[in-house]
A and B are shown apart, each in its own frame.
Chain A
Amino acid sequence: MSELVKNVTAALTARFDGCTVSEFRGEARVRVPRHHLLPVLQFLQQEQGFDLLVDITCVDYLVYRDATDRFGLVYLLCHTESSQRVTIRVTLNEPDLHVPSATPLWEAANWLEREVYDMFGIEFTGHPDLRRILLPPEFAAFPLRKDYPLQGRGERHNFVPLARDAS
C-alpha cells in the first residue's frame, strides 16, 4: 500500500464508522457499510481525487467457504494523477438487494450497473435507466448467481418464438 492510499484509507475510517481496511498483493480494499456507500464514493471522488471509476462488479458468495453474506458488490476506483487504486466493497443480503446508484457521480456507472442488475438482480436506486442490457427483457432469471446452472436453463430452445407482428 502506498503512502497516498494509506492516508486515504485512514481518512476514510476516521470519517465513516464501520469501514474495515484489508490488503492483498499491495492493493487496498475497504469494506463499507451499505448506508455509507454513496458518501464514501463521493468523498473519494471529490475530496481525495479518485476520479476514475474503473469497474463495478458483483460476486455471489452463495457457496463460498466461510462466507456470511450473499452478495459482494465491488467498486474499483483509480486516482488517475498518481495511478493508485482502491477497491470498495459492500455486502448485500436477500431480500433487500438495493444500493444507491453511483450514476450521479460517474456517468461510467450507467452501463456497469445495468450489467450487474442484469446478471445478479441487484437494484440500483436512482439509476436513470435500469433495464437489462445483455439479456433480452423477457429473461426471467439472473444467470451469474451461483444457484443458476451452467447448462439447461435459459437456452434458445426454451424461448417462445416471437411472431413478426408481436415483436
Chain B
Amino acid sequence: MATASQQDYLWTLNFGPQHPATHTTLRILLTLDGERVVDAVPDIGYLHSGFEKIGEHLDYNQYVTVTDRMNYISPMANNVAWHHAVEKLLGIELTPRCQYLRVIIAELARISDHLLCVGAMGLDVGAFTFFLYGFYERERIYDIFEALCGARFTNSYTRVGGVMHDITPGTVEKIRDFLARFPATLEDMERLLTRNRIFVDRTQGVGVLTREEAINRGASGPVARASGVTRDLRKDEPYLAYRDFDFQVCCSRAGDCYARYLVRIHEMRESLRIVHQALENLPAGPVNVGIDRRVNLPDKSRVYQTIEGTITHFELVMSNRGFTVPCEEAYGAVEAPNGELGFYVVGDGSNVAYRARCRPPSFVHFALFPHLIRGHTLSDVVAVLGSLNIIAAELDR
C-alpha cells in the first residue's frame, strides 16, 4: 500500500497554531482525502516556557504561582496537586480543616473546568448558547475564588502545610448560594444539548477509544472513564479527605466524544455533592499545620508575642534557612479535572526543588489525538479536540 505522502490526490491542511477551535496555541498537520482525515501530526511547543526549569529555581511556596499558569482553566486544582506532592516529600499531615477546604476548592475547580470543556465543545460544534450558560456559571465560581483569596484567575491559594487564608463566613454563603442555584442551570444546559439531535449526531461514534487502548496509551480522568476504565484517584488512592465523602465515579463504556461529554456533565453533579458535604461538615480548628513543623509563617500576633513564633518566622524567611527537606524523591498525584495530575519532586535539603517534574494530563491525552481522528471528517477534528480538553499551557509548560 502506498503511504500517505505518495498519493498525490491527498492534500495537507495546517490546523492552527492560531485557530478559533484550538482555543489555545497548537498546530495539527492534517493530511486529507477530500474531507476525510488520513493522518494527523500534532506539532506542539508553541507555549513552552520552561516551567520545570523555573521549578528548580523557585522555592516550594513560590512555585505555586507557576502552577497556576499550567492548566489555567482550573488553577486551584494545580495548586492542590503541587502542594500535595511537596507535602508528601516533606511528610506533612494536613489539619482536617485544611483538607476539607482543599477538597472544596478542588471540586469547585473541577466544576469550572468541566463547564468550560463541555461549553467549548458545544461552541465548536455550533451550540453557542450552551457555551454562554457555562461561562456565566464559571463567572460565579470566579467570584467565590475572589472572595476566598483575592484573585479570580491565578489563585495561588495553597501553601506548604496549609492555605493562604482561612475561609470566611461570607465566602461560605457564596458557595452555599452557588450550590443552591447551579443545579437548575445544569438542568438547563443538559436540556439544551444532551438530547440535541445535531450535537448527538456530531459526537456519537466519533473518536472512539476502547478500554484497552485507553490503558495502553496512558489515558486518565474523564477520558479514561468514558472508555470504561473505572479509575478515579479520589476513590482508588484517597488523598486529602475524600474518604469521608459519599460520591460516585462516573463512567461510560462507549469511549466516544459524546461519552466524554456525559461523563463530565455527571461529574459536575458529583462534585456538587462533595462540595455540599464538605462545606456542611467543615471541621473547626486551625487551618495550617502547627508551629512546630516550621513550614507556615505564623500569624503576626504569635510572631510578636511568643518566642516560638519569632523563631519560626525568622527560620522561614532567612535566606540560608527555610524548610527541612529530605534528600529524597516523591511522586504525588491528584485527580485533576483533566485526569491524573502529578508532580515528581526531588528534594536536595534546600527549600528549592532539585527537580519539579509535572505529569500533565493534556500532554498524554493529546498524544491520543491522531489515533482518535484517523478516518473521521475534518469537521470532527474540533469535536475530538474539544472532548479531550487540551490546554496548551499545560501541554507545553
Contacts and interface: CB of A to CB of B under 8 A. Distances in A.
A binds B: yes
A143 interface: yes
A144 B359 CA distance: 15
Interface in B139-164: none
A123 interface: no
Interface residues of B, number: 45
Interface string B199-227: 00000000000000101111000000000
Given A65-B348, A108-B364, A24 B329 contact: yes
A150 interface: yes
6 contacts: A27-B330, A57-B357, A59-B355, A108-B218, A111-B367, A134-B396
Contacts of B348: 64-65
Contacts of B359: 54-55, 57, 76
Interface string B354-368: 110101000110110
A135 interface: yes
B217 A108 contact: yes
Interface string B48-66: 1010111011000000000
A85 B333 CA distance: 11
A80 B45 contact: no
A108 B217 CA distance: 4
B344 A107 contact: no
Interface of A: 24-25, 27, 29, 51-55, 57, 59-60, 64-66, 74, 76, 80, 83, 85, 87, 106-108, 110-112, 115, 119, 132-136, 143-144, 148, 150
B344 A80 contact: no
B279 interface: no
A87 B216 contact: no
A57 to B, nearest CB: 4
Given A57-B357, A150-B57, A134 B48 contact: yes
A53 B396 contact: no
Given A59-B329, A108-B218, A150 B53 contact: yes
Nearest to B90: A25
Nearest to B366: A111
Interface in B24-56: 44-45, 48, 50, 52-54, 56
Interface string B318-362: 000000000111110100000010101010110000110101000
Interface in B292-332: 327-331
Contact of B45 (A51, A54, A136): A136
Contacts of A110: 367
B69 interface: no
Contacts of B371: 107
Contacts of B88: 25
